[in-house]
Structure 1
Amino acid sequence: MQRWPLVFFLISFPEAQLLVARRCPEPTKHYTTIGCIPSEEQTSAGCPRWFDCSELAHRTSDKCYLYGQVYQLNDQVPDGKIRSTCSALCTCQRNPARGVAEFHCAHIDCPEFLTPPNRTGCVRQYRVRECCATRQVCGEKKAHLTRCTYGDTRYYEGERMNFADDPCRTCICTEHFNATDPLSDTKCFTNDCPFELISPSVLMSGAAPVYYNNGCCPWEWRMPKPEDRLDDTGPGSSSSAARSLPYRCRYGNLTLQAGQSLVPDVTGTGTYECKCAIPPMVHCILKAT
C-alpha cells in the first residue's frame, strides 16, 4: 500500500503533489495517490483544509484502480508506471475467492536484493524510476565520479539520494544536482505509493492509513475497532473553530470533526495515534514503544 488532478498556474500533477507534501506537516500521500483533489482553502499550517475524494464513491468491484486511472478486467498497467515499485506485468483480474477485481503482478527481484551489500570500494548506479541498479562502479573509476552533497551526506554520481526532510522525493546524483533547489533537477522524482497494487480493498473497507518513521507511504492500514473512542483531552477536542467546520472524518461508527483524535491505541507493535487532521479520512501515526 492512487491519484491526481487539479492545480492552477500550469503546475503538473506530480509537482502539485510535491508542493502539498512540502508545505503541509500532515501526511497526504494517501490522498494524492488515489486522485483526491486538495481544497484551495488552506489551514494556517499550509495544509489543504480538506480533500475531495468523491470519485471513490463511483468505484466498482469489477474494475481496478491505480494512480487515479481505471483499468477494466484483463487490462495491463504499462510497466513504465510501476517499474519503480519493483513490479511488472500487472494485470487487472477477478479474484474468484473474494469476488472483486485486483491486480496480479510479477515481482522484480534485483540482484542487489539477493546478494550482500556493495563490494568494498564500489557504488551501485541507478536510473530515474528504475527498480534495480544498472551496474557497479569500483576502484579508480569510482574515484572519478562526481560527488553530490545534501546536508551532512555525500553521494557518488549515480547513487540514489533520499531526504529526511522530504521523504517523498528521490534524486539520482549527477553533476547538475543543485542542493539549494533539488526540485529543479530532472533526475529527481516523486516516489509512488503502490498500495492499490498490493492491497486495493483497504480503501473501501474503511481502514485508516498508518505512517511510520517519517515514511512517505502508508506503512500499513488500521481497521476501526469497536473499542475506539474519541479523545476528549487531546488537541482539537475543545476547539470551537474546529467543531464549527463542516468537514469531518468517518471512521467505523465514529464521526470526527477536523482536528479531533482517537484515544491512542497502545499495542505490542507500538502506539497508534489516529486523528482527523485533514478530512475526509482519518490517518494514524505509529510510534514505537
Structure 2
Amino acid sequence: MKRWLSYISRTGSPIEDVPKMPELAPNAPFYAIGDIHGSTALIRKILSQIEDPPALRAAVVFLGDYVDRGEDSAGTLAQLYDLSRDTSRPWIFLRGNHEQMLLDFLDSPDTAGPFWLMAGGRQTLASFGIGTPWQNMDAENLPRLRDTLREKLGRDLEAWLRQMPVSWKTGNVFLSHAGTDPALELEAQTNDTLLWGKTRGKAGPRADGIWSVQGHVIVETPQISNGRVFLDTGAYATGILTAARFEQGKVNFFST
C-alpha cells in the first residue's frame, strides 16, 4: 500500500525549504530509491508505484547498500542483477559502503573480514547458505569463507558489483550513496566521502548550487535539508523502502 507523506501531494511539491539553493533542475525526470539491505520483497512493491507514460522511460537510480543487515541479500542481488539487464528503461545501480565492504572481503578476507562480518556480513553469508561460527574467524578460515562466497556469487554477479559507479549526475543534481562534502568541488570528492560520508565540511548547502541526493543516513521520513535529499528509511528494520521522483523544481516521495 502506498504511504504518501502528508506534506507531499501525489503530483509533487515545490522545493522551498532552502531559499539559497537554485531550483532543482535535472536534465530529465528520474527516480531514486533508498537503501534496500536485503529487503527483497520491497523492491517490486516500490517499483510498482513508478507510473510513467511509456514514452518517458525515466531513469531509476538505486542509491546503494543492497546487502547486509536484512535477511535476503542473495535474493536482492539476484533481483537487481536481473533488473540491470532489463531494457525497458535506464537502470543505474550505485555502489554503497556495504557493497564496498563485501568487495574488500573478497579481495582481502583476513583484513577486511572481521569488520564486514560485524557490520552485517554474517546476514549476507547466511542468505547464501553459508554459516559463520563466531569462533575461529582467523587468517586461515576467512579465506576459505571468501572462497565459498565467491563460488556462490558467481563470476557475473561479482563483476557486476565491481563495475558499479559511486555517483551519477544529471543537471544540478548529484547522487551518491553517502552524499558529498560541501566544502569540495565534485571532482575532488573521494570514495570515502561518497561511500561513507566522511567529510571535512559543514552540513550546509553547496556553494556551487548542486543538489545532493543520498541514502546511508537513516531518517524516519525522507528529508530535504540544506540542498540535500535523504532517502534511507531503514527498510530492513522498518519495512519502509522509500523512493522519490525528481523533476524541474519538484520532488515527489513515495514508499512501501
Higher strand share: 1
TM-score, normalised with respect to structure 1: 0.22
Higher helix share: 2
Larger radius of gyration: 1
Q: Which has the higher contact order (CA 8 A, sep 6+)?
A: 2
